[in-house]
Amino acid sequence: MRAPTRRIATAVSAASALALLLGGCSWADDWSGSRSGLQPIGTVTQGFTDAAAPPAPGATIAPRAGTWDTVHPPQGYRVVLLTAGDDRATETVAAAVAEWATAEGVSMKTVTVTEPDRAIDGIVEAMELGPDLIVSAGAGLVDPLAVVTASHLERQFLVVGAQLPEPTANVTAAIWQGASSRGSEVADSATSNVPDAVTPEKAGTAVRAGVASVLNDITGIVVSID
C-alpha cells in the first residue's frame, strides 16, 4: 500500500485558542457544523475593481493598494493551507498564510504534500476537511489544481504566488512580478518565476488582497498586487 500523503493538521490559531479558553466557545475548532450565513467583515473599497464593469472570468485586476484593508473574515472562518515544496518561496508564502490566520483569528489546518505524484491526493484531502477556503502555496500545485478544481465548483481556492492558466469561477489567484507562474502549460518568462521576488511583505499583501477578493465574491480572477 502506498504511504499516505504526509499531513500536518495545524490546530486553531493562537488567537482562536485563547478565545476558546477565555470564552468557552467551540466555533473556532468546529469543522463539522453548517457553513451557511457566514458574511465577511467589511468590503473592498473604491479602486479594488470597477463596480460598473466587474472583471470578466479569468481577468487580471490591479487593485489600488489598501483597498482591501477593511475586509476581514467572519468569526468561525475555516481555512486549509495546502502546500507543496520546501523551497524558500513556498515556505515564505506558507508562513504568510499562517501569520494572516493567526492575526485574523482564523481556524487553520495544513495539508503538506511531500511527493509530487501525490499532489491530487493532497488536494482531495484538503477538500474533505470541509474548509471555507483552500489556500495553496507552491508553484508545483498549479498543474494538479488545474485538474481538480473545475470538478469541485463548491470549493473556493486561493492560489498565492502563482496562477492557473484557465481558472474556473472558484479559483482566485494573487500574484506579483516574479510570482506569477502558470505551471507547465505556459512557459515561465523572465519575470514570472523569480524566487527572490517572493518576500514576506509581498506574500503577506497578496494573501490579504486575495482573501478580500474571495470574501467579496470577486472570484475566478487574478489579483495582481504590483
- Tell whether 137 is covered by a domain: yes
Contact by Cβ (8 Å): 153, 169: yes
In percent, how much of the chain has pLDDT > 90?
73
* Tens digits of residue pLDDT in 164-195: 999 999 999 999 999 999 988 888 888 899 99
- Tell whether 4 is covered by a domain: no
- pLDDT for 190 equals 84
CATH number reported for the structural domain that contains residue 162 in this entry: 3.40.50.2300
- Tell whether 113 is covered by a domain: yes
Q: Which of 71, 216, 202, 211 is nearest to 136 (CA)?
A: 211
Measured between alpha carbons, how far is residue 171 from residues 136, 150, 164, 218, 223 in Å?
Answer: 11, 9, 8, 10, 11
In the predicted structure, residue 18 carries a pLDDT above the cut 80? no
- Tell whether 1 is covered by a domain: no
- Tell whether 2 is covered by a domain: no
How many domains, the chain?
1
- Tell whether 158 is covered by a domain: yes
Q: Phi/psi of residue 136, each to 5°?
A: -105, 140
- Tell whether 33 is covered by a domain: no
Range of the domain at 183: 14-24+38-224
- pLDDT for 156 equals 96
In the predicted structure, residue 144 carries a pLDDT above the cut 90? yes
The rounded mean pLDDT for the chain is 86
The pTM for the full model equals: 0.85
- Tell whether 73 is covered by a domain: yes
